[in-house]
Amino acid sequence: MGLGSIVLLVILLIAALYSVVIYNALVAVKHAVAQSWANIDVLLKQRNDELPKLVAVAREYMTYEQQTLDRVTQARTRAESAQRTGDMAALGAAEGELRLGLGQLFAVAEAYPELRANEVFNQLARRISGLESAIADRREFYNAAVNRNNVRIEQFPDIVVARALGFKSFDLLEFDATELQDVDVGALFRS
């Protein structure tokens, strides 16, 4: 075997090894996105399990606030549906509606002294508030993982391997414009 053949073989071997390294890195960022989504999914399921309990307790006291309770229930249903289908745009919108409905529910609950005094309601409200904070944190991690994946599959030389092996970009979990605005707390208490 001549020197030219050996050089060509070494170059091909280095290119193959480098492609394997790139492939492994792309697999790692793809799975980081999946793991981030799974973390959100777990918290959303926990919150969706807790919400009916909160609404049931509130319903016992808030006989005249059916519209608020219905809004929370409907938003929860839309969020679950978007979560099951993996529709990030619909999930972002439904999550915004759900958070708005929860804010109104907690604000309206202030008008019911018996409900405010109910320990079960208070425990559920604290639990859901904690889950909301955790979900917000996990959304941030998810978007960071999506961003790492999307940047990586567009960078050279990774793009060559990514396109050849069918790696795809993911959608960021974005939110409705109303969710980005300041909350009018006074309006919540007037609802």
Interval 79-100: pLDDT, tens: 888 888 888 878 888 888 888 8
Cis before 157? omega within 30? yes
Provide the pLDDT for residue 24: 92
Sorted by where each begins, the domain ranges of the chain are 3-190
Tokens 């091909």 — which residue? Answer: 12
CATH of domain 3-190: 1.20.1440.20
Mean pLDDT (the chain, rounded) = 81
CA distance 162 to 104: 46
The answer on pLDDT for 190 being more than 50 is: no
In the chain, % of residues over pLDDT 90:
22
The answer on pLDDT for 133 being more than 80 is: yes
CA distance 22 to 187: 53
Provide the pLDDT for residue 176: 61
Q: How far apart are the first and last CA of the chain?
A: 85
The answer on pLDDT for 69 being more than 90 is: no
Torsion of CA 138, 141, 146, 148, to 10 degrees: -170
For the beta carbon of residue 160, count every other beta carbon within 10 angstroms. Answer: 11
CA distance 39 to 60: 33
Q: Are 170 and 33 a contacting pair, CB within 8 Å?
A: yes
The answer on pLDDT for 189 being more than 60 is: no
